[in-house]
Amino acid sequence: GENVEQHPSTLSVQEGDSAVIKCTYSDSASNYFPWYKQELGKRPQLIIDIRSNVGEKKDQRIAVTLNKTAKHFSLHITETQPEDSAVYFCAASLGGTASKLTFGTGTRLQVTL
Amino acid sequence: NAGVTQTPKFQVLKTGQSMTLQCAQDMNHNSMYWYRQDPGMGLRLIYYSASEGTTDKGEVPNGYNVSRLNKREFSLRLESAAPSQTSVYFCASRPGQEETQYFGPGTRLLVL
């Protein structure tokens, strides 16, 4: 089955700096790659996603890049703010009727003042 | 629209007890999923239901059973709880025409 690895497990940045989280996946047939943000005690919420026919997608301060050849994708957060502090999860899916997600193990991002 | 709801929010069980976690969605979504979340391990898929009337095993199905009662409801049953099943359980649903999964608020389960 699919395997998703995520790095780093923890990341501390100063407010205003950029943060980058990287994921690799094993199944070259995976075609959908979402990123979820989870605040303490809350449910995971989708922040951005990308499909395999696109190399990059941006939404304000958040961007995701995908390298299908290398089977890795990354989340970029620019101009970080304290409210960006949370755990971020990447995931990969083969799509189709079931569209099961395989998640990475998460990155705890701390934005310090 | 309540979205995805889960009951109970928190439960304490003794080893060997049984219980059912309830999940419902009011978004007319086709697919529903059960995940467990453990520290340092991300979310792992227990069971899923691609459409009403179907259920399939995910990555970690042992010790669990599910029922897709109707299009709205998808329950997860622990027949004989074990301490290893202490976890936070999330239900999610997905509309048929898009990939995004929407999560419920979670059920925190402690098995003593």
Q: Is the peptide bond before B8 cis (omega within 30 degrees of 0)?
A: yes
Which of B101, B107, B108 has the highest number of chain A CBs within 10 A, making it the mutation to test binding with A? B101
Average pLDDT over residues B84-95: 97
Instruction: Pull the structure tokens for residue B108.
Output: 């925190």
DSSP string, A47-88: EEEEETT-SEEEETTEEEEEETTTTEEEEEE-S--GGG-EEE
pLDDT in tens, A91-105: 999 988 888 999 999
CB-CB under 8 Å, A98 with B50? yes
Per-residue model confidence (pLDDT) at position B4: 98
| pLDDT for B1 beyond 90 | no
| One-letter amino acid of B34 | W
pLDDT in tens, A53-66: 889 999 999 999 99
Helix residue ranges per DSSP H, chain B: none
- Interface membership of A18 toward B (CB under 8 Å): no
Report helix, strand or coil for B84: helix
Question: First and final CA of chain A: distance in angstroms?
Answer: 41
Per-residue model confidence (pLDDT) at position A95: 86
CB-CB under 8 Å, A100 with B45? yes
pLDDT in tens, B39-83: 888 899 999 999 999 999 999 999 999 999 899 999 999 999 999
Q: Report the gap between the CA of B77 and the closest CA in chain A (Å).
A: 20
Provide the β-strand partners of residue A107. A88
CB-CB under 8 Å, B42 with A89? yes
Per-residue model confidence (pLDDT) at position B98: 86
